[in-house]
Amino acid sequence: MIDPTIDSTFRALAVDRRYGPAILERWSRLASSDATEILRLAEELRPSENQLRDLWNWIDEIAARDHSTPDKVLAAPPVASVWRRHLGRNDRLKLIKGALRRLRFPELSATEERLAGLIATLGLPRHVRVVVPEFLEGDTLRVEITADSPAALRAAANALHTAAATATCDQLFALLAEAE
């Protein structure tokens, strides 16, 4: 059973944030420790109803897969480290979503880290940016070049040409194709 103080705080927040009856119904089924952490999430991040529902779904999916509980998911190291950071609400919300996403999709996150490592080993200059598709949806990548002169553009193009001829570049595209 949810502590009455926590319950009234969440219900007041739900009215303020205009959360619908489905959220309140879901809330009423929580264990007290889970309710405390969902309240913390809602108070500190002030998500919209859709954002809260998405986060809550991810939390429940992770908890079910790991035979855990929502409060333990929110206390997991990747998420807990975000809570400790002194950030604005939007930055914290983005990082919490990222941490939950990594917990929810560990293989996808590992592939993204491998891709980032391969991109780093290409040795491209700072003004040449390689961008992989979000959530690895697709097997193409985008290259962005920032140049303030013809010489800078030529240097970037040469660096990109050199990087494209490496085995690392081949590995990068092979990994993108696998992830799709």
The answer on 25 and 81 residing in a single domain is yes
Same domain flag for 118 and 93: no
Dig out the tokens for 28 from the structure.
């009423």
What pLDDT sits at residue 108? 86
For residues 17 and 53, state if they share a domain.
yes
Number of domains in the chain: 2
Tell me, yes or no, whether 26 and 85 share the same domain.
yes
> Which of 104, 120, 153 lies at the terminal end of a domain, its last residue?
104
Same domain for 95 and 32: yes
137 and 81 assigned to the same domain: no
> Concatenated DSSP letters for 135-169?
GG-SS--EEEE--SSHHHHHHHHHHHHHHHTSHHH
Evaluate the CA torsion angle 23, 42, 61, 114 in order and state its sign: positive
**Angle CA 61–178–130, to nearest 5:** 95
* pLDDT recorded at residue 123: 93
Query: What CA–CA distance (Å, rounded) separates 88 from 138?
Result: 32
Residue 55 near residue 100, CB atoms below 8 Å: yes
Same domain, 64 and 20: yes
Average pLDDT in the chain: 93
Same domain, 161 and 150: yes
pTM over 0.75: no
The amino acid present at 73, given as its one-letter code, is V
Positions in the chain whose pLDDT score sits under 50: none
User: Do 92 and 148 fall within a single domain?
Assistant: no
Domain that holds residue 142: 107-179
The pLDDT score that the predictor gives to residue 116 is 94
Tell me, what's the pLDDT at 62? 96
Both 113 and 98 in one domain: the answer is no
